[in-house]
Copies of this chain bind each other. A is one copy, B any other.
Amino acid sequence: MIFDPATDKPQEECGVFGIYSPQPADIAWLTYLGLFSLQHRGQEAAGICVSDGESFLVEKDLGLVSQVFDETRLDKVRLGGARVGIGHVRYSTTGSNLRFNSQPLTVRTNKGILGLAHNGNFVNAREMRQEMLDDGVIFQTTNDSEVMLNRVARLARLDLIDATARAMRELQGGYAVVLMSRTQLLGFRDPNGVRPLCIGQRDDGAWVFASEPCALFAVGAKFVRDVQGGELVWADRTGLHSLQVLEGHKPTPCAFEWIYFARADSQVDGTDVHESRIRMGEQLAREYPVEADIVVPVPDSGIGAAIGYSRESGIPFDYGLYKNPYAGRTFIAPTQEARELKVKLKLSPTSAVRGKRVVLVDDSIVRGTTSRQIVNLLREAGATEVHFRVSSPPIQHPCFYGIDTAARKELVASTHSVEEIRSLIGADTLSFISEVGLRRAIAGPGLCIACFNGEYPAGVPLENDVNKLALEV
């Protein structure tokens, strides 16, 4: 997994948004609003693509939604008679944060101009791309989307819907995609529904597809339903349509959506995120009780589980770590010493922990470096004991479905026992929620927990090597 040195969290790759309005609407503005509320899913790049049936405009660049799109830039994708648009926010790995890889990707094909934005990974994209290269196709990006679009285009005699359905059958992995032509908005999801996608509708009839419901609400739409695994939905002048392209797959949405990625105010596949986090904390308290004075979350993602732990254990919840809201990525950190400062400048203990036995609740441990620093900060601030509780099991395997993964050897849990990790981070006790407990807390229809147990529901790349997912430039 890729780590922001100051968070040491797994990183979601993307958020997607699409809208089709039967009447002309300010599609650019609505897409901006949708992306703004999906910003937590990707902070490296943002893009918007809009069409009015004739013109087809795209703007995209590196940066936050609000950095890429000032009024001037947003005006560049404003069209008076606009009806359809898609948008994308992206987290990208170091070294590949190249402007040319930004989405939406827009291409001209035999089916007209198309724009595509996706979240997730195709595990067999590398082989398909090699096949096409051998066949004389050229590639300008290292983006899965370009493989998808080439596949759709090469099915030259099929219309857009049929070609997309065919491509869904050929491409494997965990993904959620929005795709637009001048007159249609398509959305589809991998057969297991690993990556999320939901449908909403505005009072004026406009259809909206988005990674999370918060983006529906941001544009004044009501939640209608989640897209099913293997389902292709599309909106056009004649309304909303659906085709169940791939059937018989067990739904296994990514557990990390509830653990960490999704916003606390979201529901994913029918299960409320905040409530799940409360239940994870309650479960942790049942599985790993401890005698202590206060329960302290690592803000902000540990708050839900900390409340749950507090409720189940009866130990008071307190605000023991202040988080500097300005401590983002732009901090200058020229030296190693400075990089270590990042955690200290971001998180700072309050007086609540002084002389207290603290239960510290976080959502995950990846490399453990940040966890060690936090434990240390608490001790310096006078905590007498630090009991670390984690609302996810140990991460031991890479993700092939769109969560950016580092080499397996960097995952502390893939090479160390829980006791070794405890010693490494300097906690008095350390406990991870059990897989069974996690499943119970989320209580969804099924889960992809491959990063915990190595069982990949949606296939693995040929050589089962995460590094082989990256497309060569």
Interface residues of A (CB under 8 A from B): 29, 32-33, 36-37, 39-40, 43, 56, 64-67, 69-71, 74, 105-110, 113, 133-140, 146, 149-150, 153-156, 214, 217-218, 263-265, 267, 272-275, 300, 303-304, 307, 310-311, 316-319, 322-328, 330-332, 334, 338, 341, 344-345, 348-352, 472-473
* CA A391 to CA B65, docked complex, whole Å: 35
* CA A69 to CA B351, docked complex, whole Å: 31
**B217–A67 CB distance below 8 A:** no
Report the nearest B residue to A380, measured CB to CB: B217
**B56–A348 CB distance below 8 A:** no
Chain B residues with CB below 8 A from A303, complex form: 319
| Across the A-B interface, the 3 shortest Cβ-Cβ residue pairs | A136-B154, A66-B330, A274-B350
Chain B residues with CB below 8 A from A64, complex form: 326, 330
A352-B274, A472-B108 given; A153·B140 CB < 8 A: no
**A348–B217 CB distance below 8 A:** yes
**B66–A138 CB distance below 8 A:** no
Report the nearest B residue to A306, measured CB to CB: B319
A37-B345, A275-B351, A307-B319 given; A332·B66 CB < 8 A: yes
* CA A106 to CA B273, docked complex, whole Å: 44
* CA A107 to CA B32, docked complex, whole Å: 31
A136-B156, A218-B345, A307-B317 given; A473·B275 CB < 8 A: no
**B150–A265 CB distance below 8 A:** no
Chain B residues with CB below 8 A from A332, complex form: 32, 66, 69-71, 74
A154-B136, A331-B36 given; A264·B109 CB < 8 A: no
Chain B residues with CB below 8 A from A107, complex form: 138-140
* CA A281 to CA B327, docked complex, whole Å: 28
Chain B residues with CB below 8 A from A67, complex form: 330
* CA A311 to CA B318, docked complex, whole Å: 10
Shortest distance from the beta carbon of A336 to any chain B beta carbon, whole Å? 14
**A264–B113 CB distance below 8 A:** no
Shortest distance from the beta carbon of A464 to any chain B beta carbon, whole Å? 24
**A348–B155 CB distance below 8 A:** no
Shortest distance from the beta carbon of A342 to any chain B beta carbon, whole Å? 10
**A40–B326 CB distance below 8 A:** yes
Q: Can you spell out 17 A-B residue pairs with CB atoms less than 8 angstroms apart?
A: A36-B326, A40-B324, A40-B326, A65-B326, A67-B330, A108-B139, A109-B138, A110-B133, A136-B153, A136-B155, A140-B140, A263-B348, A264-B322, A272-B351, A275-B351, A311-B316, A325-B325
* CA A156 to CA B135, docked complex, whole Å: 6
Shortest distance from the beta carbon of A19 to any chain B beta carbon, whole Å? 16
Chain B residues with CB below 8 A from A275, complex form: 351-352
Report the nearest B residue to A43, measured CB to CB: B326
Report the nearest B residue to A275, measured CB to CB: B351
Chain B residues with CB below 8 A from A265, complex form: 322, 348-351
A36-B345, A74-B332, A218-B345 given; A137·B137 CB < 8 A: yes
Chain B residues with CB below 8 A from A37, complex form: 324, 345
